[in-house]
Chain A
């Protein structure tokens, strides 16, 4: 379907597609199998200029906003939803700086992320603080011009591989949600170490690690926004980043749909291609309709975020993430079904797509948390109208 992309947006899609097909596709099974971090793929993203697609031009990016990020991530994830995370999860780690950083912080960190030299990571989750961020135990205690960080973050995408980390910690534990602050921490800072690497169901090319802070001393210039504003930074980040996860989900779904249609046309049973059976046709029709609906919603949300016409887009971002990630799960499961035994085999890419799809319903808020967000905003909007 024609979404009336601008010439520059089409350029991004074409470039991402070329990288995905020529550089990612030949090695995707290998990276999934070996669970190695795909640095050579990251170098291709960098060379092609994709890493800065959402970063403003004044900081060395291509300046195409969340829509730019969405288009690139979708295209890369059609081929490999795991390796694409070098770029997509970097966007999540970078958004706090982009949204809440001062000019100095932006000038210091954004150019090397935009040109792909450095990766970023976002450190909010802890063992006992997942959906409920206020349960975090990591603390940042002020000591003169410095903060001393202590605690452990877990499930951090790009952990250990990234150079720049945006870390959330309690600066005033007695103030609850208003006692959390966000800091930029660089790899190599004394007292900042990496813990175990997770063994995962999917997105196995991507590294997920623990971040351990043990009396890690960071300068107060590394504080993002103001002390106590950490959760607001996190929420604003997620409003902007959830479309990125949605794009990952959409790409995986679209990739699986292509594989399923292609297979159904070629696979002959009972003397005819299985695509000639109505049972298969209806499955493919449902999959295609879901993918297109997901894309239409996501693109609209991304454009609305970039247009900045409303102050908050929490509800819409959550809707896009919820719908795209659930669609990805449905479509990839059906793709495996259509490929039958071959779909379950690692000889074909759809089992990987199904494993990769699952994470999109979990991270940056589970589907249930997205529903909470949507409902909460619905009720707030209604109250504002009717009170």
Chain B
């Protein structure tokens, strides 16, 4: 089995800060992590390799420092990492990103299953996974929460819906985007961490992947960000503190004042 897992490096969402002037994300000094949803994708890819054998290739598009996200994937069981990196990719929207990644995936050669996280925690679009499948001309199933059955040619999966789940059978090659219910990502092992430390990350630029220069980066992006703004913060509620009996009385009084009770 040749398994590919697409990952993205994102700012750690537990300490996101927004520049009030520009409305943009402050990236300086913010820790970068693997997009949390992609951790489930890596885990599912590695589990599949352990079950059916084969190789897991992690791929990411990003600046040179995205190398560390690939090493993290290797520490959790991926066999190799490919970094798609070029200044020409800068400013890419989901269409240009999926195009560039699909070009890189074609360079890798034959593959059976591609895993992606359902969305990235920075852009939150959930478009890149399915768009890669479209660019490659293969089928995809988004939001899978369980692989019921899988062999080297096809799989039966559960797709999470708002009101339950669908059971879908699909032949390979296929792209799956996974939701967090699918597994519990493993802790990177000592051997995995050593492998990650020693791994040679292959870097591909725009010409290596044979990308059409008009379809990548800003040139290839029909959507442009016009304005970024932070919605006004919600004002905090009224706090009551002090002696529990008095607090209870004040709360009851307040609730009746505003007509709730």
Which residues on A are within 8 Å of B, measured CB to CB? 7-8, 11-12, 15, 18-19, 22-23, 44, 47-50, 53, 62
Per a CB cutoff under 8 Å, which of A8, A12, A44, A62 touches B187?
Answer: A44
For the complex formed, measure the closest distance between the CB of A162 and the CB atoms of chain B, giving whole angstroms: 22
Taken residue by residue from 181 to 207, chain B's Cβ proximity to chain A (1 for < 8 Å, 0 otherwise) reads as 000001111111110010000000000
- Contact residues in A for B192 (Cβ distance below 8 Å): 49
Say whether B186 contacts A12, CB under 8 Å: no
Interchain CB contact under 8 A, B190 and A11: yes
Do B190 and A49 touch across chains, with their CB atoms under 8 A apart?
yes
Q: A15-B188, A15-B190, A22-B187 are in contact. List 15 more A-B contacts (CB 8 A).
A: A8-B194, A11-B190, A15-B187, A15-B189, A15-B193, A47-B186, A47-B187, A47-B189, A48-B188, A48-B189, A49-B189, A49-B190, A49-B191, A50-B190, A62-B190
Q: Across chains A and B, which 4 residue pairs bring their CB atoms closest together, nearest first?
A: A49-B190, A49-B189, A49-B191, A48-B189
Choose among A23, A44, A48 the residue that contacts B190 (Cβ–Cβ < 8 A). A48
Complex A-B: 19 CB contacts under 8 Å: A7-B197, A11-B190, A11-B193, A11-B194, A12-B190, A15-B187, A15-B189, A15-B190, A15-B193, A18-B188, A19-B187, A47-B187, A48-B187, A48-B188, A48-B190, A49-B191, A50-B190, A53-B190, A62-B190
Nearest chain B residue, comparing its CB with the CB of A23 = B187
Query: Interface residues of A: mostly helix, strand, loop or mixed?
Result: helix
Per DSSP, chain B at the interface is: helix
Contacts of A23 in B (CB 8 A): 187
For B, the interface residue count at a CB cutoff of 8 angstroms equals 10
Give every chain B residue within 8 A of A22 (Cβ-Cβ).
187
Q: Which of B149-197 contact A (CB under 8 A)?
A: 186-194, 197
Measured between alpha carbons, how far is A334 from B245 in the docked complex, in Å?
A: 35
Report B9 CB to chain A, min CB distance, Å: 19
Q: Which residues of A contact B191 (CB under 8 A)?
A: 49, 62
Give the Cβ gap from A360 to chain B, nearest Cβ, in Å. Answer: 26
Chain B nearest Cβ from A312, distance in angstroms = 30
State how many angstroms separate the Cβ of B62 from the closest Cβ of chain A.
24
Chain A's closest residue to B193 (CB) is: A11
Q: How far is the CB of A59 from chain B (nearest CB, A)?
A: 14
Which residue of B has the minimal Cβ distance to A64?
A: B190
**A15 / chain B contacts, CB cutoff of 8 Å:** 187-190, 193
Residues of B within 8 A of A18 (CB): 187-188
A53 contacts across to B, CB distance below 8 A = 190
Interface membership of chain B positions 204-233, coded 1 if the CB is closer than 8 angstroms to chain A and 0 otherwise: 000000000000000000000000000000
**Nearest residue in A to B191 (C-beta to C-beta)?**
A49
Tell me the smallest distance from the CB of B6 to a CB of chain A, in Å.
Answer: 25
Chain A nearest Cβ from B194, distance in angstroms: 8
Nearest A residue to B189 via CB reads A49
Provide the bound-state CA to CA distance between A37 and B84, in Å: 47
Bound complex: CA A18 to CA B76 (Å): 14
**What's the Cα separation between A1 and B144 when bound, in Å?**
46
Give CA–CA (A14, B194) in the complex, Å.
Answer: 13
Q: How far is the CA of A22 from the CA of B187 in the complex (A)?
A: 9
Chain B residue at smallest Cβ distance from A19:
B187
